Structure 1
Amino acid sequence: MKKDIQIPEVKDVHVALIYEYNNDFKAKEWNAYILNNKDTPIELVFVVSKGYDGDIKTAPLRHSMAGLEPKSFAKLEFVQDEVLKLNNEFFVTFYLDGVLFEKKFLFKKNTINNTSLTTIPTINKQGILGK
């Protein structure tokens, strides 16, 4: 029965942590974004995020949106400095052409730092793409 279930591969949808300046707090901070680099919109987007390392766990945060237009992005959440030392997981599900897609994006503990920054497509800001 399980062998009959086909799970399509997620392409061109990403989670990125962006290191950006916050004008209100006059400081740089990490924010999580979801990116749709596809040429078509995605629908019914759900994201569950959590941090963990052994016995240390954060409460899961849940985000939802009706959809995300092609070549666009949406901010998910602010990432506190305290959780950067944890594994940060973002589980993304969405529909595309009536088919359910899902993927887990992981930022391993202690890898979220200024030395790992690259330019993130679609947003064109400095950050790190989840794997």
Structure 2
Amino acid sequence: MKKDIEIPQVKEVYVAAVKEFNEEFQSDEWNVYLINNSEIELEMVLIVSRGYDKKRETSVMRHKIEKLPSKNFAKVEFIQDEVLALNNEFRISYFSDSKMFDKKFTFKKDSIKERALGEIPLIPRPGILAG
């Protein structure tokens, strides 16, 4: 029965960390974005995030995005500096073309740092893509 279940592969969808200046608090902060670089709209996007290592674990955070149009991005959450020392996992599930897609994206501990910044799809600022 398992062999009969088709699990479509996630393509052109990314999770990125972007360092941005927060005008309200007058400080730099890391924000996580979901990027839809595909040609199709994502519907009913569910995001479950958590930080963890061998000794510690954060609370599980849940987010929902009704629709994420093609070639677009959406801010998911702010990451506190204390959590950057942990593995940060984002499980993304969504519907597209009447199929459900699911993928886990992970930022390894201490991988979110300024010297790792690079070009990322669609967002006009440097960032770091999750693996």
Instruction: Please state which band the TM-score falls in when normalised by the shorter chain.
Output: over 0.9
Q: Percent identity?
A: 49
Displacement, 1:9?
0.7
Q: Segments of 4+ in structure 1 off by > 4 A? A: none
2:54 is the counterpart of 1:54: yes
- Compute the RMSD of aligned alpha carbons: 0.8
Aligned 1:1-131 pairs, distance under 5 A: 1-131=1-131
- Deviation readout 1:73-99 (Å, 9 max, x if unpaired): 110110000000000000000001000
Q: Extract unaligned runs of 5+ from structure 2.
A: none
Structure whose residues are more often strand by fraction: 1
Q: Extract unaligned runs of 5+ from structure 1.
A: none
The CA distance in 1 between the partners of 2:114 and 2:65, in whole Å, is: 30
The CA distance in 1 between the partners of 2:126 and 2:26, in whole Å, is: 18
- Provide the TM-score with structure 2 as the length reference: 0.97
- Deviation readout 1:7-36 (Å, 9 max, x if unpaired): 111001111000111111111110011011
The CA distance in 2 between the partners of 1:71 and 1:48, in whole Å, is: 22
- Provide the TM-score with structure 1 as the length reference: 0.97
Displacement, 1:55?
2.5
